Amino acid sequence: MLLWIISLAVGAAAALWLYGWRLPSDGYRRGLAALRAVAVALTVALLLDAPLGARVQARPLTALDASASWRQGNSARFTEAAARAKSTGGDLQLFGDSLSAGGVPSTPSDAASRVGPAVDRSAALGRPLHVITDGQLDDPEALDALPAGSTVEVLPAPDAVDVAVRSLDLPLGAAPGDSIEVRALVVSGGARVPAASIAVRSADGAALAAAALGALEPWNEREWRGRIKVPDRRDALILRVAVTAAGDVEHRNDTLTTAVEVRSGPSAVFASTSPDQDARFALDLMRGALGFGVRGYVRVAPGQWRDEGTLSRVDEPTVRDALARAPIAVLQGDTALFGPPRTLTRGALALVVPPRDDDGEYFTEPAGASPLAPALTGVAWDSLPPIAVGTAPIGTSWIALGARRGRRFDERVVVAGYDSPRRVAVLPVRGLWRWKFRGGRSADAFAALWGGVFDWLAEGGADERAAFAASPWVREGEPISWRRGSARDSVVAVRLRRDGDTAITSVTLRFSDAASLTSSPPLVAGVWRASVAGGSAVIAVNPSAEWVPRRPIVSRVATGGTPAVGARPSLRDGWWWFALVLAMLCAEWWMRRRVGLR
């Protein structure tokens, strides 16, 4: 109201200033004054964006889930959802793997269900949001930020027997003849599964493992573990893990495909010339941390070596050759037994050198910034048992852990490393096994220390390929993650071909100086062969995660509060007000000319 009072006052003042304080005597001059007053008042009102009418509630937005999960069970649900979205009368937007505006698709096909972008847009505009979904959202927590007056409408899938393989966990690579563990997570839908079974097969259909899972309750999950023997082959082993159940209504989620690289030799070798509890516990953790084939060798007497797993006799040249070829090598005890260890090995290297003399008890303490700092965060150093520490290495790139004798004197280095020309970790220590043996927080500290060392070494392993897939299996709609190889190239050209197709897809990977990971756009489902400088890799792209049954995570609900009140309509909303001002000024000028005024 104040803006209109100001505008009218300015318009009246302009008319009085031009035509005099005394009102003109004839009607013609009074019309000129009125035109000037109204034209100036409207001009000022337009400049001030004066309101025109009362405030109205903000128009709602409508967000329709366009993900492929609608196609589970009865596909008519999406038709009903689309009809509801159109009947709301709000501005329609589609969400899934991205946010878009436009017409409703005949078949929903997005490979994700992310409602967050739609919520952010409605909050930025201050308008309520009406969400229509099947309830299987990837980011349900985003609904907590909905503006007041918003609603969430769910059309869940009917309960039906459905069982699926959600994820797989197994080594990235193995040698022929190795026995590897396969862990599969099996989930069920909204109805009880009376009996389910699981099987592991190779690409040619050969059965490698099978087991009965029994009954699964609705929305249940179960982990299955099995072991398979890696066949003697030179290319990647394609594995298909499939689950079956009577009455299963959705078969696109029954099978998960992955690849295991079959290597001629082990990917990591642990050799100990003086096996003790330190070597035993560290080797066990190494097998869990690296996630692929680890060979262990122990010297039980001068010139006598045995395989750590089977205790079978192994000759010394075999151990030397395994260390020389391994991308990751760990030497514990007499690290110079085979000569200079950096000359013998080619990949990442860890040297564990126990001190010969015991000159007191040393208590560990963090030494500052290092590549292992994230893994060691939160360790309660004051509660750890003492250890024995030897002479510190010279010229290291970083120091991750130190120790003091009696917590006060003679500071020494427990873990240090070299970053170039390749990764080398040095641990002049004995007695870390006490941490593991005590259990509790001490065992966690043991796992954090050795896990950090092995993870750091794995990132610097000598892979001859310029780049390789970080995971052997992904799902449709997910970007492909790549890890930089030993060539350290910042730009890597990749040629991808799907089994059964002749077309070649070319991708250029770009690695930053500080990062060892990058990604490329998603691929359609199938087994893809990637060719890069220095070798090749296999990537199994599985059907979208939208096919995997998930319990609806939201219900039909309306958020509390009154819908936000929108801005008042103003003069600037209509172009005709500008035209009216221009017409009035022109009319006044014409009338002034008729009576001889300029």
Q: Is residue 89 part of a domain?
A: yes
**CA dist., res. 246 & res. 102, Å (int):** 41
Report whether pLDDT(21) > 60.
no
CB within 8 A of 424, min separation 6: which ones?
342, 348, 349, 350, 351, 417, 418
Torsion of the alpha carbons at 335, 340, 343 and 349, rounded to the nearest 10:
20
**CA dist., res. 539 & res. 475, Å (int):** 10
Regarding predicted confidence, which is higher, 357 or 83? 83
Q: Which among 346, 347, 349 has a CA at the least distance from the CA of 271?
A: 349
586's tokens: 């022109």
Co-location of 406 and 478 in the same domain: no
The predicted structure's pLDDT at residue 222: 95
Co-location of 50 and 71 in the same domain: no
The predicted structure's pLDDT at residue 55: 57
**Picking from 39-48, 195-204, 494-503, which range would have the lowest pLDDT averaged per residue?**
39-48
How sure is the predictor about 593, in pLDDT bands with cuts at 50, 70 and 90?
confident
**CA dist., res. 165 & res. 580, Å (int):** 69
**Helix, strand, coil percent values for the chain (each to nearest 5):** 25, 35, 40
Hey, which residues does 222 pair with through a beta bridge? 186
Co-location of 370 and 239 in the same domain: no
Co-location of 393 and 436 in the same domain: yes
Q: Is residue 167 part of a domain?
A: yes
Q: Is residue 359 part of a domain?
A: yes
Structure confidence by residue, pLDDT tens digits, 218-262: 999 999 999 998 888 778 899 999 999 999 999 999 999 999 988
**CA dist., res. 249 & res. 162, Å (int):** 6
The predicted structure's pLDDT at residue 497: 95
Q: Is residue 340 part of a domain?
A: yes
Cβ-contact 96, 147 below 8 angstroms: no
CATH number at residue 405: 3.40.50
The rounded mean pLDDT for the chain is 85
Co-location of 335 and 415 in the same domain: yes
The predicted structure's pLDDT at residue 474: 95
3-state secondary structure of 339: coil
Q: Given the DSSP bridges, would you call strands 328-332 and 313-314 parallel, antiparallel or unpaired?
A: unpaired
What is the separation of C-alpha 9 from the centre of its chain, rounded to a whole number of angstroms? 62
Last residue of a domain, one of 214, 241, 263: 263
How sure is the predictor about 209, in pLDDT bands with cuts at 50, 70 and 90?
very high
How sure is the predictor about 125, in pLDDT bands with cuts at 50, 70 and 90?
confident
The predicted structure's pLDDT at residue 147: 86
What pTM does this model have? 0.65
Regarding predicted confidence, which is higher, 525 or 45? 525
The predicted structure's pLDDT at residue 191: 92
The predicted structure's pLDDT at residue 242: 96
Q: Is residue 337 part of a domain?
A: yes
Q: Is residue 564 part of a domain?
A: no
**Picking from 149-163, 311-325, 451-465, which range would have the lowest pLDDT averaged per residue?**
451-465
The predicted structure's pLDDT at residue 483: 83
Co-location of 13 and 89 in the same domain: no
How sure is the predictor about 56, in pLDDT bands with cuts at 50, 70 and 90?
low
Alpha-carbon Rg for the chain in angstroms: 36
- Mean pLDDT for 436-448 is 89
3-state secondary structure of 487: coil
Cβ-contact 470, 483 below 8 angstroms: yes
Cβ-contact 134, 80 below 8 angstroms: no
The predicted structure's pLDDT at residue 575: 74
Co-location of 23 and 85 in the same domain: no
Q: Which among 472, 465, 474 has a CA at the least distance from the CA of 492?
A: 465
Q: Is residue 563 part of a domain?
A: no
3-state secondary structure of 547: helix
Tracing tokens 């309830």 back to the chain, one arrives at 135
**CA dist., res. 494 & res. 369, Å (int):** 35
Cβ-contact 308, 296 below 8 angstroms: yes
Range picked from 197-201, 273-277, 344-348 for highest mean pLDDT: 197-201
Report whether pLDDT(178) > 70.
yes
- Look up residue 59 and give its amino acid: R
CATH number at residue 530: 2.60.40
Classify the phi-psi angles of 407: left when phi > 0, otherwise alpha if psi is within -120 to 50, otherwise beta. left
- Mean pLDDT for 339-347 is 88
Co-location of 106 and 234 in the same domain: no
The predicted structure's pLDDT at residue 57: 62
- Number of compact structural domains in the chain: 5
Last residue of a domain, one of 459, 493, 513: 459
Residue span of the structural domain in which 102 resides: 61-159+552-558
The predicted structure's pLDDT at residue 161: 93
**CA dist., res. 400 & res. 300, Å (int):** 32
**CA dist., res. 186 & res. 223, Å (int):** 6
CATH number at residue 167: 2.60.40.10
Q: Is residue 547 part of a domain?
A: no
- Mean pLDDT for 189-214 is 93
Co-location of 210 and 291 in the same domain: no
Length in residues, the chain = 598
The predicted structure's pLDDT at residue 9: 85
The backbone torsions φ and ψ at residue 445, rounded to the nearest 5 degrees and listed phi first, read -65, -40
- Mean pLDDT for 145-159 is 86
- Mean pLDDT for 296-300 is 91
Co-location of 485 and 400 in the same domain: no
Q: What percent of the chain has pLDDT over 90?
A: 35
- Mean pLDDT for 317-341 is 89
Cβ-contact 56, 565 below 8 angstroms: yes
Report whether pLDDT(459) > 80.
no
The predicted structure's pLDDT at residue 48: 82
Last residue of a domain, one of 425, 459, 493: 459
Co-location of 23 and 88 in the same domain: no
Co-location of 50 and 65 in the same domain: no
